Amino acid sequence: MNASRSVPVLDLDPFSDDFLAEPFSRHALIREAGPVVWLERYGVWAVGRHSDVFAVLMDWESFISSAGVGITDFRVQTPPRPPSIILEADPPLQTRTHKILARVLSPAALRSMRVAFETEAEQLAARIVERGTIDGAEDIARAFPLQVFPDAVGLPDEGREILPAYGNMVFNFFGPHNERFEHAMANAPAVSKAVMALCERSAVTPDGLAAGVFAAHDAGECSYAEAGMLVRSLLSAGLDTTVNSIACALVCFARFPEQWNRVRADPSIARNAFDEAVRLESPVQTFFRTVAKPVTIGGIELEDGAKLLMFLASANRDPRKWSDPDTFDVTRKTGAHVGFGAGIHRCVGEMLSKLEGEILIGALARRVARFELTAEPTLNYNNTLRGYAQIPLTIHANGKPT
């Protein structure tokens, strides 16, 4: 095997605190080593260049998801929760389930959320300006999605408090069985049970996203159990991702105040600014695929059954693809970034996430002149997500709120 090319072997641990504290310089090493590298610590392949990450994302027949998109191979080890029927699935199942959630999250469905999101964003912006000294991670990045998203899904107030612990479990689970994994999983059965109770038709309002999923069941598009599993997917994928995206955007605005001034001058670029923060920071840093047939990347043969780690965050700063990749530029053409994936598994909630980002950033732009970091933000270490535990900020208000 691999007689024709020598395989770059690296002993990096992409799930260590050390790596996660400063992932971007490590990504450069991976990209420079070759189109595909062997991570000997875990016995997995990895890609970090934009063209290779994109090619892997697009080739769902060679690089499957049904054996899990974490390091664990579901064909060998039983996963700790029943597999997702959209994320951890291949066509034809994934085609059917993706279609259901795409309709539930359609532009028409999102339009009806705008007013509620704007009301919440205005209140939040007024509140933080009033306070002046805040933790951006808690008071903005967690506060906003934790309110508007469970409301949009149609969850009761009672029970939704389990969602942060559940998200922590789901996204740490994709990584290796390190300390972080063990800690997040400590309460897995009870947390999973509480979440599944929220995925019953009787638990949700008749007008939210969850109700839309159950309507697909009524229309014969999926079983009742599958509808519950798709509601679970909304709850798994829809919260920690947006929380961390907003946290990343805040840190970008604080570190690049001239870019914040451009958003203030023209709030119509808020949506692009949010997308640029997703490119630069990549809240979802990595996902795995499993090789399902012998394939080659850059002349190196990958064996059937191998796990392959895609460094989405690395592709998003690959200088082969981007000019000034480490610079936050709110008017950059961001279209080709893979922060939301690409191909058949591309994030089905992307437009909902961007609606949240656009509305929140727009409301902040009308009131906040400057986000001043009063101390270094602290990272929230996670096996998949990049985000912040704390973002100590002084909020400088605009002269006059409009």
* Residue numbers at the binding site for ligand OVM (CB under 6 A): 84, 86-87, 170, 233, 236-237
Closest separation in Å from C-beta 348 to ligand OVM: 8
- DSSP letter for each residue of 5-63: SPPPEE---TTSHHHHHSHHHHHHHHHHH-SSEEETTTTEEEE-SHHHHHHHHH-TTTE
Nearer to ligand OVM, 212 or 377 (CB): 212
Q: Report the distance separating Cα 21 and Cα 388, nearest Å.
A: 11
Beta bridge partners of 290: 64, 307
Nearer to ligand OVM, 83 or 298 (CB): 83
Nearer to ligand OVM, 139 or 240 (CB): 240
Residue 42: Cβ within 10 Å count: 17
Q: How far is CA 335 from the centre of its chain?
A: 16
Closest separation in Å from C-beta 190 to ligand OVM: 18
Q: Report the distance separating Cα 237 and Cα 349, nearest Å.
A: 8
For 262, phi then psi, to 5°, come to -70, -35
Nearer to ligand OVM, 87 or 361 (CB): 87
User: Which position has the token pair 């605009």?
Assistant: 398
Closest separation in Å from C-beta 111 to ligand OVM: 23
H or E segment at 300? strand 300-302
Of 58, 6, 70, whose CA–CA distance to 37 is shortest? Answer: 6
Q: Report the distance separating Cα 137 and Cα 391, nearest Å.
A: 5
Q: Report the distance separating Cα 74 and Cα 353, nearest Å.
A: 29
Nearer to ligand OVM, 174 or 260 (CB): 174
Closest separation in Å from C-beta 55 to ligand OVM: 20
- DSSP letter for each residue of 164-193: HHHHHHHHHHTS-SSHHHHHHHTTHHHHHH
Closest separation in Å from C-beta 378 to ligand OVM: 24
Nearer to ligand OVM, 341 or 362 (CB): 341
Nearer to ligand OVM, 94 or 259 (CB): 94
Of 320, 323, 326, 332, whose CA–CA distance to 53 is shortest? Answer: 320
CA distances from 291 to 59, 112, 287, 307, 321 (A): 10, 41, 13, 6, 25
Beta bridge partners of 291: 63
Nearer to ligand OVM, 277 or 363 (CB): 277
Closest separation in Å from C-beta 175 to ligand OVM: 13
Q: Report the distance separating Cα 369 and Cα 61, nearest Å.
A: 49
Closest separation in Å from C-beta 314 to ligand OVM: 18
Nearer to ligand OVM, 87 or 110 (CB): 87
Closest separation in Å from C-beta 176 to ligand OVM: 17
Length of the chain: 402
Closest separation in Å from C-beta 376 to ligand OVM: 28
